[in-house]
Chain A
Protein backbone atom coordinates (compact mmCIF):
# COMPACT_ATOMS: atom_id res chain seq x y z
CA UNK A 1 0.00 0.00 0.00
CA UNK A 2 2.72 2.46 0.89
CA UNK A 3 4.44 1.62 -2.38
CA UNK A 4 1.22 2.56 -4.17
CA UNK A 5 1.00 5.84 -2.32
CA UNK A 6 4.64 6.60 -3.08
CA UNK A 7 4.01 6.00 -6.75
CA UNK A 8 1.02 8.30 -6.69
CA UNK A 9 2.90 11.02 -4.85
CA UNK A 10 5.84 10.88 -7.24
CA UNK A 11 3.40 10.93 -10.15
CA UNK A 12 1.75 14.04 -8.78
CA UNK A 13 5.11 15.73 -8.34
CA UNK A 14 6.32 15.14 -11.90
CA UNK A 15 2.79 15.86 -13.13
CA UNK A 16 3.31 19.47 -12.07
CA UNK A 17 5.89 19.81 -14.83
CA UNK A 18 3.62 18.13 -17.37
CA UNK A 19 1.04 20.73 -16.41
CA UNK A 20 3.43 23.47 -17.55
CA UNK A 21 3.82 21.77 -20.92
CA UNK A 22 0.04 21.53 -21.17
CA UNK A 23 -0.26 25.19 -20.29
CA UNK A 24 2.17 26.08 -23.07
CA UNK A 25 -0.19 24.37 -25.50
CA UNK A 26 -3.33 25.88 -24.00
CA UNK A 27 -2.15 29.50 -23.89
CA UNK A 28 -1.64 29.51 -27.65
CA UNK A 29 -4.63 27.38 -28.46
CA UNK A 30 -7.01 29.53 -26.43
CA UNK A 31 -6.17 32.75 -28.20
CA UNK A 32 -5.58 31.59 -31.77
CA UNK A 33 -6.96 28.01 -32.01
CA UNK A 34 -3.52 26.91 -33.19
CA UNK A 35 -2.39 23.61 -31.70
CA UNK A 36 1.37 23.78 -31.37
CA UNK A 37 2.80 20.37 -32.23
CA UNK A 38 6.31 21.69 -31.68
CA UNK A 39 5.78 22.12 -27.96
CA UNK A 40 8.06 19.22 -27.04
CA UNK A 41 10.84 20.69 -29.12
CA UNK A 42 10.46 24.01 -27.34
CA UNK A 43 10.88 22.10 -24.06
CA UNK A 44 14.02 20.41 -25.36
CA UNK A 45 15.38 23.70 -26.65
CA UNK A 46 14.64 25.33 -23.30
CA UNK A 47 16.75 22.73 -21.54
CA UNK A 48 19.64 22.97 -24.01
CA UNK A 49 19.67 26.76 -24.17
CA UNK A 50 19.92 26.89 -20.40
CA UNK A 51 22.61 24.20 -20.45
CA UNK A 52 24.60 26.18 -23.00
CA UNK A 53 24.76 29.26 -20.85
CA UNK A 54 25.20 27.44 -17.56
CA UNK A 55 27.60 24.66 -18.52
CA UNK A 56 29.15 25.39 -21.91
CA UNK A 57 29.67 29.11 -21.22
CA UNK A 58 30.01 28.51 -17.49
CA UNK A 59 27.97 31.58 -16.56
CA UNK A 60 26.53 32.06 -13.08
CA UNK A 61 23.01 30.73 -12.61
CA UNK A 62 21.22 34.10 -12.55
CA UNK A 63 22.93 35.20 -15.78
CA UNK A 64 22.12 31.86 -17.40
CA UNK A 65 18.48 32.19 -16.45
CA UNK A 66 18.37 35.74 -17.78
CA UNK A 67 19.96 34.85 -21.12
CA UNK A 68 17.89 31.69 -21.49
CA UNK A 69 14.73 33.71 -20.90
CA UNK A 70 15.77 36.21 -23.55
CA UNK A 71 16.70 33.55 -26.10
CA UNK A 72 13.53 31.53 -25.61
CA UNK A 73 11.38 34.66 -25.74
CA UNK A 74 13.00 35.55 -29.05
CA UNK A 75 12.43 32.03 -30.38
CA UNK A 76 8.77 32.26 -29.40
CA UNK A 77 8.41 35.70 -30.96
CA UNK A 78 10.15 34.76 -34.19
CA UNK A 79 8.05 31.62 -34.53
CA UNK A 80 4.96 33.75 -34.46
CA UNK A 81 6.28 36.56 -36.64
CA UNK A 82 7.95 34.44 -39.31
CA UNK A 83 5.78 31.33 -39.42
CA UNK A 84 2.38 31.78 -37.82
CA UNK A 85 1.43 35.41 -38.56
CA UNK A 86 2.07 35.22 -42.30
CA UNK A 87 -0.43 32.34 -42.37
CA UNK A 88 -3.29 34.56 -41.19
CA UNK A 89 -6.36 33.85 -43.26
CA UNK A 90 -5.13 30.40 -44.32
CA UNK A 91 -6.98 27.29 -43.19
CA UNK A 92 -6.23 26.43 -39.59
CA UNK A 93 -5.12 22.95 -40.58
CA UNK A 94 -2.33 24.43 -42.68
CA UNK A 95 -1.12 26.45 -39.70
CA UNK A 96 -1.23 23.43 -37.42
CA UNK A 97 0.69 21.34 -39.94
CA UNK A 98 3.22 24.13 -40.09
CA UNK A 99 3.91 23.66 -36.38
CA UNK A 100 4.55 20.01 -37.16
CA UNK A 101 7.11 21.15 -39.71
CA UNK A 102 8.56 23.51 -37.13
CA UNK A 103 8.99 20.55 -34.82
CA UNK A 104 11.26 18.83 -37.35
CA UNK A 105 13.12 22.05 -38.03
CA UNK A 106 13.83 22.52 -34.32
CA UNK A 107 14.96 18.89 -34.01
CA UNK A 108 17.29 19.33 -36.99
CA UNK A 109 18.84 22.57 -35.80
CA UNK A 110 19.14 21.07 -32.35
CA UNK A 111 21.13 18.08 -33.49
CA UNK A 112 23.34 20.29 -35.64
CA UNK A 113 24.01 22.58 -32.70
CA UNK A 114 24.26 20.17 -29.78
CA UNK A 115 24.69 16.74 -31.34
CA UNK A 116 22.86 13.59 -30.34
CA UNK A 117 24.57 13.11 -27.00
CA UNK A 118 23.14 13.51 -23.54
CA UNK A 119 24.18 16.45 -21.44
CA UNK A 120 23.86 16.92 -17.72
CA UNK A 121 23.12 19.92 -15.59
CA UNK A 122 25.17 20.36 -12.47
CA UNK A 123 22.87 19.54 -9.54
CA UNK A 124 20.40 22.44 -9.56
CA UNK A 125 17.90 21.00 -7.14
CA UNK A 126 18.54 19.41 -3.76
CA UNK A 127 18.75 15.65 -4.20
CA UNK A 128 18.17 12.75 -1.85
CA UNK A 129 15.15 10.90 -0.59
CA UNK A 130 12.52 12.42 1.61
CA UNK A 131 10.25 10.24 3.69
CA UNK A 132 6.93 11.11 5.15
CA UNK A 133 5.83 8.22 7.32
CA UNK A 134 6.05 5.21 5.06
CA UNK A 135 5.88 7.29 1.86
CA UNK A 136 9.13 8.14 0.18
CA UNK A 137 9.84 10.50 -2.67
CA UNK A 138 12.86 12.21 -4.08
CA UNK A 139 13.64 15.75 -3.02
CA UNK A 140 14.35 16.96 -6.54
CA UNK A 141 10.89 15.85 -7.68
CA UNK A 142 9.39 17.82 -4.87
CA UNK A 143 11.34 20.92 -5.84
CA UNK A 144 10.34 20.39 -9.42
CA UNK A 145 6.73 20.43 -8.37
CA UNK A 146 7.17 23.52 -6.24
CA UNK A 147 8.93 25.46 -8.99
CA UNK A 148 6.36 24.33 -11.53
CA UNK A 149 3.57 25.54 -9.28
CA UNK A 150 5.30 28.87 -8.76
CA UNK A 151 5.57 29.23 -12.55
CA UNK A 152 1.91 28.31 -12.80
CA UNK A 153 1.08 30.90 -10.16
CA UNK A 154 2.97 33.64 -11.97
CA UNK A 155 1.22 32.71 -15.18
CA UNK A 156 -2.20 32.77 -13.51
CA UNK A 157 -1.46 36.17 -12.08
CA UNK A 158 -0.49 37.53 -15.49
CA UNK A 159 -3.50 35.94 -17.10
CA UNK A 160 -6.10 36.91 -14.54
CA UNK A 161 -4.88 40.19 -13.10
CA UNK A 162 -3.01 42.19 -15.70
CA UNK A 163 -4.07 44.31 -18.62
CA UNK A 164 -2.20 42.04 -21.03
CA UNK A 165 -3.79 38.94 -19.50
CA UNK A 166 -7.25 40.45 -19.85
CA UNK A 167 -6.49 41.25 -23.48
CA UNK A 168 -5.44 37.62 -23.99
CA UNK A 169 -8.67 36.33 -22.53
CA UNK A 170 -10.67 38.82 -24.59
CA UNK A 171 -8.83 37.79 -27.74
CA UNK A 172 -9.48 34.15 -26.90
CA UNK A 173 -13.19 34.87 -27.04
CA UNK A 174 -13.64 37.01 -30.11
CA UNK A 175 -10.93 38.40 -32.37
CA UNK A 176 -13.10 40.94 -34.15
CA UNK A 177 -14.62 42.24 -30.95
CA UNK A 178 -11.16 42.44 -29.36
CA UNK A 179 -9.94 44.56 -32.26
CA UNK A 180 -13.00 46.78 -31.98
CA UNK A 181 -11.92 47.64 -28.43
CA UNK A 182 -8.45 48.56 -29.62
CA UNK A 183 -6.67 45.33 -28.70
CA UNK A 184 -3.95 44.50 -31.21
CA UNK A 185 -4.61 40.83 -31.78
CA UNK A 186 -1.25 40.42 -33.53
CA UNK A 187 0.56 41.66 -30.44
CA UNK A 188 -1.46 39.30 -28.28
CA UNK A 189 -0.55 36.32 -30.46
CA UNK A 190 3.11 37.23 -30.13
CA UNK A 191 2.69 37.50 -26.37
CA UNK A 192 1.14 34.04 -26.15
CA UNK A 193 4.00 32.49 -28.15
CA UNK A 194 6.55 34.18 -25.94
CA UNK A 195 4.74 33.03 -22.82
CA UNK A 196 4.50 29.48 -24.14
CA UNK A 197 8.22 29.42 -24.97
CA UNK A 198 9.03 30.57 -21.44
CA UNK A 199 6.81 27.91 -19.88
CA UNK A 200 8.65 25.36 -22.02
CA UNK A 201 11.96 26.75 -20.77
CA UNK A 202 10.93 26.13 -17.18
CA UNK A 203 9.69 22.65 -18.03
CA UNK A 204 12.83 21.83 -20.01
CA UNK A 205 15.20 22.90 -17.25
CA UNK A 206 13.22 21.01 -14.60
CA UNK A 207 12.96 17.81 -16.61
CA UNK A 208 16.56 18.12 -17.74
CA UNK A 209 17.73 18.28 -14.18
CA UNK A 210 15.68 15.44 -12.71
CA UNK A 211 16.46 13.18 -15.64
CA UNK A 212 19.19 14.02 -18.07
CA UNK A 213 19.19 16.37 -20.97
CA UNK A 214 18.89 14.70 -24.36
CA UNK A 215 17.06 14.82 -27.66
CA UNK A 216 14.45 12.51 -26.18
CA UNK A 217 13.24 15.42 -24.10
CA UNK A 218 11.25 16.48 -27.15
CA UNK A 219 9.01 13.45 -26.63
CA UNK A 220 7.54 15.29 -23.66
CA UNK A 221 5.33 16.90 -26.28
CA UNK A 222 3.56 13.58 -26.56
CA UNK A 223 2.70 13.86 -22.87
CA UNK A 224 1.42 17.37 -23.32
CA UNK A 225 -1.35 16.14 -25.62
CA UNK A 226 -3.13 13.86 -23.13
CA UNK A 227 -2.62 16.54 -20.49
CA UNK A 228 -4.54 19.17 -22.41
CA UNK A 229 -7.12 16.77 -23.79
CA UNK A 230 -7.87 15.53 -20.28
CA UNK A 231 -8.19 19.04 -19.01
CA UNK A 232 -10.08 20.42 -21.96
CA UNK A 233 -8.05 22.35 -24.49
CA UNK A 234 -9.08 25.74 -23.20
CA UNK A 235 -8.87 25.27 -19.48
CA UNK A 236 -5.97 26.54 -17.41
CA UNK A 237 -7.08 24.64 -14.28
CA UNK A 238 -7.58 21.58 -16.46
CA UNK A 239 -3.86 21.64 -17.20
CA UNK A 240 -2.91 21.03 -13.59
CA UNK A 241 -5.41 18.22 -13.19
CA UNK A 242 -4.43 16.76 -16.56
CA UNK A 243 -0.74 16.99 -15.75
CA UNK A 244 -1.18 15.25 -12.43
CA UNK A 245 -3.41 12.54 -13.89
CA UNK A 246 -0.86 11.79 -16.60
CA UNK A 247 2.02 11.76 -14.10
CA UNK A 248 0.20 9.36 -11.80
CA UNK A 249 -1.04 7.03 -14.55
CA UNK A 250 2.41 6.84 -16.01
CA UNK A 251 3.98 5.91 -12.70
CA UNK A 252 1.36 3.31 -11.85
CA UNK A 253 1.54 1.83 -15.35
CA UNK A 254 5.29 1.56 -15.14
CA UNK A 255 5.18 -0.15 -11.76
CA UNK A 256 2.25 -2.53 -12.13
CA UNK A 257 1.78 -3.20 -15.82
CA UNK A 258 5.31 -3.17 -17.15
CA UNK A 259 6.26 -6.41 -15.41
CA UNK A 260 3.35 -8.07 -17.21
CA UNK A 261 3.99 -6.75 -20.71
CA UNK A 262 7.71 -6.15 -20.58
CA UNK A 263 8.14 -2.40 -20.59
CA UNK A 264 7.05 0.78 -22.29
CA UNK A 265 3.46 0.68 -21.06
CA UNK A 266 3.84 3.96 -19.16
CA UNK A 267 3.89 5.80 -22.46
CA UNK A 268 0.63 4.22 -23.54
CA UNK A 269 -1.53 4.25 -20.44
CA UNK A 270 -2.21 8.00 -20.42
CA UNK A 271 -3.37 7.84 -24.02
CA UNK A 272 -5.70 4.90 -23.36
CA UNK A 273 -7.27 6.68 -20.44
CA UNK A 274 -7.43 9.89 -22.46
CA UNK A 275 -9.41 8.12 -25.15
CA UNK A 276 -11.81 6.80 -22.53
CA UNK A 277 -12.29 10.29 -21.10
CA UNK A 278 -12.89 11.79 -24.51
CA UNK A 279 -15.50 9.16 -25.25
CA UNK A 280 -17.58 10.37 -22.33
CA UNK A 281 -16.54 14.00 -22.13
CA UNK A 282 -15.64 15.21 -25.61
CA UNK A 283 -14.53 18.62 -24.35
CA UNK A 284 -12.30 17.14 -21.64
CA UNK A 285 -12.97 17.32 -17.94
CA UNK A 286 -12.81 21.10 -17.76
CA UNK A 287 -13.77 22.04 -21.29
CA UNK A 288 -15.41 25.42 -21.71
CA UNK A 289 -19.13 25.27 -21.51
CA UNK A 290 -20.48 27.28 -24.41
CA UNK A 291 -22.78 29.98 -23.21
CA UNK A 292 -25.94 29.39 -25.15
CA UNK A 293 -28.01 32.43 -24.28
CA UNK A 294 -26.69 35.23 -26.37
Chain B
Protein backbone atom coordinates (compact mmCIF):
# COMPACT_ATOMS: atom_id res chain seq x y z
CA UNK B 1 0.00 0.00 0.00
CA UNK B 2 0.52 3.61 -0.63
CA UNK B 3 3.82 5.39 -0.93
CA UNK B 4 1.46 7.49 -2.97
CA UNK B 5 -0.26 8.78 0.13
CA UNK B 6 2.88 10.02 1.77
CA UNK B 7 3.04 13.17 -0.26
CA UNK B 8 4.88 15.89 1.52
CA UNK B 9 4.46 19.64 1.50
CA UNK B 10 1.01 19.98 -0.02
CA UNK B 11 -1.96 21.68 1.55
CA UNK B 12 -3.71 18.80 3.31
CA UNK B 13 -6.07 20.18 5.93
CA UNK B 14 -7.23 16.80 7.18
CA UNK B 15 -4.88 13.86 7.63
CA UNK B 16 -5.79 10.40 8.85
CA UNK B 17 -2.80 8.31 9.78
CA UNK B 18 -3.44 4.53 9.91
CA UNK B 19 -6.54 5.01 12.03
CA UNK B 20 -7.85 1.95 13.79
CA UNK B 21 -11.33 2.00 15.32
CA UNK B 22 -12.82 -0.44 17.77
CA UNK B 23 -16.46 -0.42 18.90
CA UNK B 24 -17.40 -1.55 22.41
CA UNK B 25 -13.78 -2.55 23.06
CA UNK B 26 -14.05 -5.65 20.87
CA UNK B 27 -15.41 -4.97 17.40
CA UNK B 28 -12.51 -3.94 15.17
CA UNK B 29 -13.98 -1.97 12.27
CA UNK B 30 -11.26 0.27 10.84
CA UNK B 31 -7.97 -1.53 10.29
CA UNK B 32 -5.60 1.31 9.66
CA UNK B 33 -7.17 3.91 7.40
CA UNK B 34 -4.97 6.64 5.96
CA UNK B 35 -6.30 9.46 3.85
CA UNK B 36 -5.93 13.17 3.23
CA UNK B 37 -8.25 15.98 2.30
CA UNK B 38 -6.49 19.00 0.78
CA UNK B 39 -7.82 22.44 1.54
CA UNK B 40 -10.63 23.44 -0.80
CA UNK B 41 -10.99 19.99 -2.35
CA UNK B 42 -13.84 17.54 -2.71
CA UNK B 43 -12.58 14.08 -1.86
CA UNK B 44 -14.78 11.04 -2.22
CA UNK B 45 -14.78 7.96 -0.03
CA UNK B 46 -16.34 4.99 -1.78
CA UNK B 47 -17.10 1.44 -0.75
CA UNK B 48 -19.77 -1.18 -0.28
CA UNK B 49 -22.14 -1.55 2.68
CA UNK B 50 -20.30 -2.09 5.91
CA UNK B 51 -16.90 -1.10 4.51
CA UNK B 52 -16.45 1.41 7.30
CA UNK B 53 -17.14 4.71 5.54
CA UNK B 54 -19.50 6.09 8.15
CA UNK B 55 -17.18 4.94 10.91
CA UNK B 56 -14.35 6.86 9.26
CA UNK B 57 -16.44 10.03 9.23
CA UNK B 58 -17.46 9.55 12.85
CA UNK B 59 -13.88 9.11 13.90
CA UNK B 60 -13.13 12.50 12.37
CA UNK B 61 -16.16 14.33 13.81
CA UNK B 62 -15.75 12.77 17.24
CA UNK B 63 -19.23 11.24 17.14
CA UNK B 64 -17.64 7.83 17.56
CA UNK B 65 -17.66 8.45 21.29
CA UNK B 66 -21.46 8.59 21.30
CA UNK B 67 -21.52 5.02 20.00
CA UNK B 68 -18.91 3.49 22.28
CA UNK B 69 -16.32 3.62 19.52
CA UNK B 70 -12.65 4.47 20.07
CA UNK B 71 -9.68 5.38 17.93
CA UNK B 72 -7.29 2.77 19.30
CA UNK B 73 -4.39 3.38 16.97
CA UNK B 74 -3.13 6.04 14.59
CA UNK B 75 -4.11 9.67 14.69
CA UNK B 76 -6.20 12.33 13.03
CA UNK B 77 -4.94 15.82 12.35
CA UNK B 78 -6.91 18.85 11.29
CA UNK B 79 -5.10 22.09 10.48
CA UNK B 80 -2.03 20.69 12.16
CA UNK B 81 -3.91 19.88 15.38
CA UNK B 82 -4.68 16.41 16.70
CA UNK B 83 -8.41 15.91 17.05
CA UNK B 84 -8.83 12.19 17.69
CA UNK B 85 -9.36 12.77 21.42
CA UNK B 86 -11.63 15.81 21.08
CA UNK B 87 -15.32 16.14 21.86
CA UNK B 88 -17.70 16.63 18.89
CA UNK B 89 -18.65 20.14 20.10
CA UNK B 90 -15.02 21.25 20.00
CA UNK B 91 -14.46 19.71 16.59
CA UNK B 92 -17.42 21.67 15.23
CA UNK B 93 -15.83 24.81 16.64
CA UNK B 94 -12.59 23.94 14.86
CA UNK B 95 -14.51 23.87 11.60
CA UNK B 96 -15.60 20.30 10.84
CA UNK B 97 -19.27 19.44 10.55
CA UNK B 98 -20.60 15.99 9.79
CA UNK B 99 -23.87 15.63 7.92
CA UNK B 100 -25.05 12.26 9.11
CA UNK B 101 -26.42 9.50 6.97
CA UNK B 102 -30.17 9.31 6.43
CA UNK B 103 -30.90 13.07 6.41
CA UNK B 104 -31.00 13.26 10.17
CA UNK B 105 -32.81 16.44 11.19
CA UNK B 106 -34.70 17.75 14.21
CA UNK B 107 -38.03 16.53 12.90
CA UNK B 108 -40.29 18.52 15.20
CA UNK B 109 -38.50 21.78 14.58
CA UNK B 110 -39.23 24.03 11.64
CA UNK B 111 -36.85 24.22 8.69
CA UNK B 112 -35.51 27.57 9.85
CA UNK B 113 -35.08 26.38 13.43
CA UNK B 114 -33.05 23.47 12.12
CA UNK B 115 -30.82 25.92 10.31
CA UNK B 116 -30.47 28.10 13.40
CA UNK B 117 -29.50 25.06 15.43
CA UNK B 118 -26.71 24.53 12.91
CA UNK B 119 -25.35 27.95 13.84
CA UNK B 120 -25.26 27.14 17.56
CA UNK B 121 -21.50 27.41 17.90
CA UNK B 122 -21.54 30.91 16.48
CA UNK B 123 -22.86 33.55 18.85
CA UNK B 124 -23.01 36.45 16.46
CA UNK B 125 -26.71 37.27 16.04
CA UNK B 126 -26.20 39.82 13.27
CA UNK B 127 -24.51 37.43 10.89
CA UNK B 128 -27.20 34.80 11.45
CA UNK B 129 -29.57 36.56 9.10
CA UNK B 130 -26.86 36.83 6.46
CA UNK B 131 -26.07 33.14 6.78
CA UNK B 132 -29.72 32.17 6.47
CA UNK B 133 -29.85 34.18 3.26
CA UNK B 134 -26.69 32.46 2.06
CA UNK B 135 -28.27 29.03 2.64
CA UNK B 136 -31.55 30.13 1.03
CA UNK B 137 -29.46 31.33 -1.90
CA UNK B 138 -28.10 27.84 -2.47
CA UNK B 139 -31.41 26.15 -1.65
CA UNK B 140 -34.27 28.46 -2.67
CA UNK B 141 -36.77 25.71 -1.92
CA UNK B 142 -35.89 25.88 1.78
CA UNK B 143 -36.89 29.51 1.91
CA UNK B 144 -40.44 28.73 0.89
CA UNK B 145 -40.51 25.96 3.48
CA UNK B 146 -38.88 27.80 6.33
CA UNK B 147 -41.85 27.56 8.66
CA UNK B 148 -42.67 23.98 7.73
CA UNK B 149 -42.06 21.19 10.23
CA UNK B 150 -38.94 19.56 8.85
CA UNK B 151 -40.09 16.03 9.65
CA UNK B 152 -42.82 16.37 7.05
CA UNK B 153 -40.60 17.67 4.26
CA UNK B 154 -39.76 15.44 1.31
CA UNK B 155 -36.55 13.45 1.20
CA UNK B 156 -34.91 15.85 -1.23
CA UNK B 157 -35.90 18.88 0.83
CA UNK B 158 -34.56 17.23 3.97
CA UNK B 159 -31.24 16.48 2.26
CA UNK B 160 -30.98 20.13 1.26
CA UNK B 161 -31.87 21.11 4.81
CA UNK B 162 -29.16 19.05 6.45
CA UNK B 163 -26.50 20.37 4.07
CA UNK B 164 -27.77 23.89 4.70
CA UNK B 165 -27.65 23.28 8.43
CA UNK B 166 -24.01 22.26 8.17
CA UNK B 167 -23.23 25.43 6.21
CA UNK B 168 -24.65 27.54 9.04
CA UNK B 169 -21.65 26.60 11.18
CA UNK B 170 -19.23 28.11 8.62
CA UNK B 171 -17.28 24.88 8.41
CA UNK B 172 -13.94 24.57 6.71
CA UNK B 173 -14.71 20.93 6.04
CA UNK B 174 -18.05 19.16 5.61
CA UNK B 175 -18.24 15.41 6.09
CA UNK B 176 -21.13 14.40 3.88
CA UNK B 177 -22.49 10.89 4.39
CA UNK B 178 -24.42 9.41 1.46
CA UNK B 179 -26.42 12.43 0.37
CA UNK B 180 -27.84 10.51 -2.60
CA UNK B 181 -29.49 7.90 -0.41
CA UNK B 182 -33.02 7.24 -1.60
CA UNK B 183 -33.24 10.22 -3.94
CA UNK B 184 -34.30 10.28 -7.58
CA UNK B 185 -31.38 10.62 -10.06
CA UNK B 186 -32.41 14.09 -11.15
CA UNK B 187 -32.43 15.30 -7.56
CA UNK B 188 -29.07 13.67 -6.89
CA UNK B 189 -27.66 15.59 -9.81
CA UNK B 190 -29.15 18.84 -8.54
CA UNK B 191 -27.83 18.38 -4.99
CA UNK B 192 -24.36 17.33 -6.13
CA UNK B 193 -24.29 20.40 -8.35
CA UNK B 194 -25.07 22.58 -5.36
CA UNK B 195 -22.39 20.87 -3.27
CA UNK B 196 -19.92 21.67 -6.03
CA UNK B 197 -21.08 25.30 -6.04
CA UNK B 198 -20.69 25.57 -2.29
CA UNK B 199 -17.20 24.13 -2.57
CA UNK B 200 -16.22 26.63 -5.22
CA UNK B 201 -17.91 29.71 -3.82
CA UNK B 202 -17.39 29.26 -0.08
CA UNK B 203 -14.11 27.38 -0.37
CA UNK B 204 -15.52 24.63 1.85
CA UNK B 205 -13.71 21.31 1.58
CA UNK B 206 -15.89 18.21 1.39
CA UNK B 207 -15.23 14.61 2.30
CA UNK B 208 -18.01 12.87 0.43
CA UNK B 209 -19.02 9.34 1.35
CA UNK B 210 -21.03 7.67 -1.38
CA UNK B 211 -22.26 4.40 -2.77
CA UNK B 212 -23.22 6.26 -5.89
CA UNK B 213 -19.64 6.28 -7.18
CA UNK B 214 -20.55 7.76 -10.54
CA UNK B 215 -22.14 10.86 -9.05
CA UNK B 216 -19.45 11.25 -6.40
CA UNK B 217 -16.51 10.97 -8.81
CA UNK B 218 -18.31 13.48 -11.01
CA UNK B 219 -17.67 16.30 -8.53
CA UNK B 220 -14.68 15.01 -6.55
CA UNK B 221 -11.09 15.57 -7.56
CA UNK B 222 -9.73 12.59 -5.65
CA UNK B 223 -11.16 9.36 -4.35
CA UNK B 224 -10.50 6.54 -1.93
CA UNK B 225 -12.10 3.12 -2.08
CA UNK B 226 -12.64 1.23 1.16
CA UNK B 227 -13.24 -2.44 1.72
CA UNK B 228 -13.47 -4.21 5.02
CA UNK B 229 -12.10 -1.37 7.11
CA UNK B 230 -9.16 -0.62 4.81
CA UNK B 231 -8.43 1.72 1.94
CA UNK B 232 -7.80 -0.61 -1.00
CA UNK B 233 -7.45 1.89 -3.77
CA UNK B 234 -7.04 5.58 -4.25
CA UNK B 235 -6.36 8.00 -7.05
CA UNK B 236 -7.60 11.02 -8.91
CA UNK B 237 -11.27 10.98 -9.80
CA UNK B 238 -10.57 10.56 -13.53
CA UNK B 239 -8.28 7.64 -12.89
CA UNK B 240 -10.81 5.93 -10.65
CA UNK B 241 -13.58 6.47 -13.16
CA UNK B 242 -11.51 4.58 -15.71
CA UNK B 243 -10.29 1.86 -13.37
CA UNK B 244 -11.68 -1.54 -14.43
CA UNK B 245 -12.27 -2.81 -10.89
CA UNK B 246 -14.19 0.29 -9.94
CA UNK B 247 -16.27 0.15 -13.07
CA UNK B 248 -17.09 -3.43 -12.40
CA UNK B 249 -17.63 -3.51 -8.66
CA UNK B 250 -18.67 0.00 -7.71
CA UNK B 251 -20.19 1.44 -10.83
CA UNK B 252 -21.74 -1.82 -11.96
CA UNK B 253 -20.32 -1.36 -15.46
CA UNK B 254 -18.38 -3.86 -17.54
CA UNK B 255 -15.77 -3.11 -20.18
CA UNK B 256 -18.48 -2.57 -22.72
CA UNK B 257 -19.96 0.15 -20.57
CA UNK B 258 -23.08 -1.86 -19.87
CA UNK B 259 -24.47 -2.96 -16.57
CA UNK B 260 -22.82 -6.25 -15.71
CA UNK B 261 -25.41 -7.67 -13.42
CA UNK B 262 -28.68 -5.87 -13.65
CA UNK B 263 -30.28 -8.09 -11.09
CA UNK B 264 -27.66 -7.23 -8.50
CA UNK B 265 -28.13 -3.55 -9.02
CA UNK B 266 -31.83 -3.83 -8.49
CA UNK B 267 -31.30 -5.90 -5.41
CA UNK B 268 -28.90 -3.34 -4.08
CA UNK B 269 -31.39 -0.57 -4.60
CA UNK B 270 -34.08 -2.47 -2.80
CA UNK B 271 -31.76 -2.97 0.12
CA UNK B 272 -30.86 0.65 0.24
CA UNK B 273 -34.48 1.58 0.48
CA UNK B 274 -34.90 -0.64 3.50
CA UNK B 275 -31.79 0.77 5.09
CA UNK B 276 -33.02 4.30 4.50
Contacts and interface: CB of A to CB of B under 8 A. Distances in A.
Q: Do A and B come from one complex?
A: yes
Interface of A: 163, 166-167, 169-170, 173-184, 288, 291, 293-294
Contacts of A179: 63, 66, 87-89
B66 A293 contact: no
B63 A181 contact: no
Contact of A167 (B87, B93, B108, B120): B120
Interface stretch (B98-106, B211-219, B242-250): B98-106
Contact of A174 (B67, B92, B104): B104
10 contacts: A166-B116, A170-B106, A176-B66, A180-B63, A181-B118, A182-B89, A291-B107, A291-B108, A293-B151, A294-B151
Tell which of A167, A182, A183 has the most Cβ of chain B within 10 Å.
Answer: A182
A173 B107 CA distance: 8
B88 A182 contact: yes
A184 B89 contact: yes
Contact of B109 (A169, A288, A294): A169
A182 B121 contact: yes
B66 A181 contact: no
Nearest to B93: A182
B165 interface: yes
Contacts of B100: 176-177, 180
A180 B118 CA distance: 9
B66 A182 contact: no
Contacts of B117: 166-167, 170, 178, 181, 183
Contacts of B97: 180-182
A-B residue pairs, 5 tightest by C-beta: A182-B92, A291-B151, A182-B121, A179-B88, A170-B117
Contact residues of A: prevailing secondary structure: helix
Given A180-B100, A182-B89, A183-B120, A169 B63 contact: no
A288 B106 CA distance: 14
B131 interface: no
A205 B165 CA distance: 42
Contacts, number: 78
Contacts of B61: 180
Interface size class of B (residues with CB under 8 A): 20 to 34
Contacts of A163: 116, 120, 123
B152 A182 contact: no
Interface string B77-100: 000000000011100110001101
B159 to A, nearest CB: 13
Given A173-B108, A184-B89, 7 more contacts: A174-B104, A176-B66, A177-B105, A179-B66, A181-B117, A182-B92, A291-B151
Interface in B147-186: 149, 151-152, 165, 169
Interface in B183-236: none
A167 B118 CA distance: 10
Nearest to A160: B113
Interface string B106-129: 111100010011101101000000
Interface in B7-63: 61, 63
A180 B151 contact: no
Contacts of B149: 291
B120 A182 contact: yes
A215 B266 CA distance: 69
A181 B105 contact: no
Given A167-B117, A167-B120, A180 B98 contact: yes
A175 B66 CA distance: 9
Contacts of B109: 166, 169-170, 173
B104 A181 contact: no
A251 to B, nearest CB: 35
A163 B122 CA distance: 10
Contacts of B89: 179, 182-184
Contacts of B113: 166, 169
Interface in B129-150: 149
